[in-house]
Amino acid sequence: MPGIGMLSVILREIFGHREFPREPEPDLVMTDEDQVLAYETAGRTDGVMAASYLFHAARISMVIQGSATIIDLACGPATQLALVAELNPAISFVGIDYSETMLKSAEAYIKEKKLNNVVFEKGDISNLGQIPKNSADGIISTMALHHLPTLAHLELCFKEIKRVLKPGGALYLVDFGRLKHLKSVLYFAYMNRKHQPHIFSLDYERSLRASFLKKDFHGLAKSYLPDYECISTCLIPLLVIIKSPDAKIAQETLKRIKSAREALSPKYRRILDDMRLFLRIGGMKNDPFK
């Protein structure tokens, strides 16, 4: 059952009026080494974002089966990408990011994990001119689109996805949906403050403030990616997902996904299970953790 704090957020978001406009992040490209380190730490195996990364890795694995090459837009330090690549060793991945600091961190992490199916390129996700039309079997992007400065840039990104992706190609885009109230933003940003660096909590707050509206994602998906499914967490659109249909996944991969859930600490396992519940109620089917 949701706690009092979460119930307050739900009621506020359902019945309240919008209080603040979108606030783009001051540093759209994450280059500060301390900021990158905090982001890395929160996402590694025992970090506060471990549950989120495992959830998205499992769901991404379900849509990219049968693909040869997948492009990860705004891959960051490659924590998410490495986990997906580990689960899908037969698929090649290209991570794209505009921050050289992030790419340096990503390359070091992939080397540390001894993965040979991941390469990186520096690039602007709203202008993928270096990638030929209809050349990608699949495109993924996790919790990164809010870094784009304006809605116009988000639209350019959707245009580029449509251009680069093969017809019917695999797709998994997920990002925050903008909440109505600042109190809701602060609740989510600092709910795990005891378990994460302050700089990460601050970045989380900025990300939530910079996120786009659910209707922005749905409108752009309808215009540029009409054959793909749009899903969001029930009651409040904390997460918005645009994805292709799930494909059959190998039993060995499913076994690894379920084992990874069991390996999480009880606290992070609860976070994962809450994500599963809120997205299942929101319409997401075929739970790989069952």
- Whole-number Å distance between alpha carbons of 61 and 95: 16
131: left (phi over 0), alpha (psi -120 to 50) or beta: beta
What pTM does this model have? 0.91
Average pLDDT over residues 121-131: 96
Residues 24-58 pLDDT 10s: 876 655 555 655 555 555 555 556 788 999 999 99
Residues 266-278 pLDDT 10s: 989 999 999 999 9
- Whole-number Å distance between alpha carbons of 12 and 6: 10
Q: Regarding predicted confidence, which is higher, 27 or 102?
A: 102
- Whole-number Å distance between alpha carbons of 220 and 201: 29
Tell me the CB-side half-sphere exposure of residue 191, using CA atoms within 13 A: 15
Strand order in the sheet with 165-176: 118-122, 92-97, 69-73, 136-142, 165-176, 239-243, 229-232
pLDDT at 52: 94
Residues 165-192 pLDDT 10s: 999 999 999 999 999 998 899 988 888 7
Give the chain's mean pLDDT.
Answer: 90
- Whole-number Å distance between alpha carbons of 77 and 226: 31
Residues 190-209 pLDDT 10s: 887 776 777 878 888 999 99
Q: What is the CATH number of domain 31-281?
A: 3.40.50.150
pLDDT at 159: 98
**Domain range annotation of the chain:** 31-281
pLDDT at 42: 52
Tell me the CB-side half-sphere exposure of residue 183, using CA atoms within 13 A: 13
Residues 219-245 pLDDT 10s: 999 999 999 999 999 989 999 999 999
Residue with tokens 């990874």: 260
- Whole-number Å distance between alpha carbons of 248 and 61: 10
Let me know: does 193 contact 201? Beta carbons within 8 Å: yes
